[in-house]
Amino acid sequence: MTYHLAGDSTVAACAPEESPMSGWGPFLVDSVAGPVRNLAFGGATTETFIESGSWVTLLSEVEPGDTVIIQFGHNDQKQPHLDSRGGYADRLRGMVAEARDRGARVVLCTSVERRWFDGDQIIPTHGDYPNAVRDLAHELDTGFVDLTAFTTWLYEDMGPEASRDLLCHFAPSEHPLWPEGLADDTHFHERGARRIAAYVSKALRGIERRDGDGPAKGSVFVH
């Protein structure tokens, strides 16, 4: 079975000049039993992923029994026509249908949360988009991984200081590729990307156990 990833920069592999920034997708292969095709790219929305041809490319190699994992929202929320219950949900619904037509198991993920603290608590930044994915996964009876909930818990459990190490924070001159420093609370350091990928792999095992061996419609797995 192959795992096929569709998503934005928080899933994608980053360019070498952006190292050690990374989405979680490149590290999924470390903890799943099959190969991983990661077609996610920076700035992607449900719309641009389709319009760029990336979705057709992804589907072209999907075989019955494969798993298609979809995570969008960070950039969709910036586009009024991709509102959570409109253009965004409509495109996700179409992706699920097309992947299932090829015999794949589909897993919808909510967006990883941004690390924005107010005291010791994370400020939710995705509005209704996570709820839209939760509702859609229930409506379509598809696999589901709640990365918004997981990353919110992870950051709060570690606290404002320690959780900074999961993302790309560098003081000036600390890292040769970021000589002016960086304070990025959206994009992961490789350390954080590995943590998210490990959680996704555990969630996938739960979904696969519930579904059995075949490409079932998909049982919901909620953090």
pLDDT digits (tens, 9 = 90+) for 59-69: 999 999 999 99
pLDDT tier at 220, thresholds 50, 70, 90: very low
**What is the CA 164 to chain-centroid distance, rounded?**
19
Residue 107's alpha-carbon distances to 137, 143, 181, 182, in angstroms, are 8, 4, 36, 33
pLDDT tier at 211, thresholds 50, 70, 90: confident
33 vs 29: CA distance, rounded Å: 8
136 vs 160: CA distance, rounded Å: 32
Q: Between vectors from CA 219 to CA 213 and to CA 223, what angle results, nearest 5°? A: 120
8 vs 77: CA distance, rounded Å: 12
SS3 135: helix
Global pTM? 0.93
Residue 95 has a pLDDT of 98
Residue 24 predicted with pLDDT over 50 = yes
97 vs 32: CA distance, rounded Å: 24
Surface-to-core class of residue 137, CB atoms within 10 Å of its CB (0-12 exposed, 13-18 middle, 19+ buried):
buried
Residue 10 predicted with pLDDT over 90 = yes
pLDDT tier at 218, thresholds 50, 70, 90: very low
Mean pLDDT for all residues in the chain: 94
Residue 12 predicted with pLDDT over 70 = yes
Side-chain-facing half-sphere of 23: CA atoms under 13 Å: 26
Residue 177 has a pLDDT of 87
Interval 171-208: pLDDT, tens: 999 999 889 999 999 999 999 999 999 999 999 999 99
Class of 3-211 per CATH?
alpha beta
In the chain, domain spans = 3-211
15, 26 Cβ separation under 8 angstroms: no
What does the buried/exposed string (b/e) look like for 146-180 if buried means 16 or more CB atoms within 10 Å of the residue's CB?
A: bbbebbbebbbeeeeeebbebbbbbeeeeeeebee
